[in-house]
Amino acid sequence: MAQWLCRGMVFLTKPFFFMKSFMTLLRERTFWAIALFLSLTACVESPPHTFRESDPNTIIKTAAAGAFAGAAVGGLLGTGATAASGPFAIAGAGVGAIAGAALGSAQSSQLLPPRVLLVDAGVQIVEIGEDTMLLLPSRLFFYDDSSHVNEGYYSVLNTVVKFINQYDIQTIKVSGYTSAFGDPERDLALSRQQAQNIANYIQGMGANASFIYSMGYGSLYPIAYNQLGAHAQMNDRVQITFRRLAFES
């Protein structure tokens, strides 16, 4: 009787030891998989923060590196040399390629000159002689009918500062404008506050001009017909104006 009882206990405890061994193996494979993935992705060198044209192959290269790392991780999470490791490797390659492409896109954007980044973000750059004017659409840089700067465009304003700091500048003027659909007094106050907030931000981020000031003009000096809604929206803007004396050495 005792012999059969011992055999029964061994039979009942076998699944427990099997699951314990399996979980230990899985944890070990997961640990080494994460370590391998981090080591492989660390080999992708971050580009220097220089303003030159980006390599059009950057995204492709990092996507390929991510796919390689993902496939290696997926294979490690699989069952070694068995056929079951194939789906893990394929899935890992897909995830790695997506992550690599995202990294490549971020790295590529770091290489672009400030001028290109500003235009891509919706900022118009007008240059006449040595004078430069940046037109910032209010619908992008501010919340609707507000002087509160849109936090999503802080990075664009940082690029504005980088663009400005390429030159030796004495004075920067920040001007605010609105369309003619609202109350004139309120529009005037709104344009003044919007211009002031932009001026404060770029000054706080290190714009290297000797003097920065702001003005608000309300609906004066439109650049589009106020009678047409789609065109009137162009009048809601902030203009940053400065004179380029020389490139910073």
Report pLDDT digits (tens) over 201-242. Answer: 999 999 999 999 999 999 999 998 877 667 788 999 999 999
Backbone Cα Rg of the chain: 29
pLDDT at 89 over 90: no
The larger pLDDT score, comparing residue 190 to residue 25, is at 190
42 secondary structure, DSSP code: T
pLDDT at 175 over 70: yes
Please give the model's pTM, rounded to 2 decimal places: 0.58
In this prediction, residue 84 has a pLDDT band, given cuts at 50, 70 and 90, of: very low
Please enumerate in sequence order all residues whose Cβ is within 8 A of that of 226, keeping only pairs 6 or more positions apart, or say none: 179, 180, 181, 219, 232, 235
Question: Would you list the domain boundaries of the chain?
Answer: 2-111, 114-247
Q: For tokens 């009678």, name the residue.
A: 227
Angle at 200 between CA 197 and CA 204, to 5 degrees: 140
Short-list 240, 248, 246, CA closest to 132: 240
Angle at 213 between CA 150 and CA 217, to 5 degrees: 70
Q: For tokens 């900022």, name the residue.
A: 123
Structure tokens at 66: 């991510």
Q: For tokens 């369309």, name the residue.
A: 179
pLDDT at 162 over 90: yes
Of all residues in the chain, the percent with pLDDT exceeding 90 is 47
- Spell out the alpha helix ranges (H) of the chain: 2-41, 58-77, 85-111, 114-120, 138-141, 154-164, 184-204, 229-232
**How far is the first Cα of the chain from the last one, in angstroms, to the nearest whole number?**
95
Q: Which fold has domain 114-247?
A: 60s Ribosomal Protein L30; Chain: A; (3.30.1330)
Neighbouring CB atoms inside 10 A of 234's CB total 20
b/e per residue 3-27 (b: at least 16 CB within 10 A) = eeeeeeeeeeeeeeeeeeeeeeeee
Give me the pLDDT at residue 226, please: 78
Q: Give residue 180's identity as a one-letter amino acid code.
A: A
Structure tokens at 182: 């609202």
Q: How far apart are CA 87 and CA 3, in angstroms?
A: 45
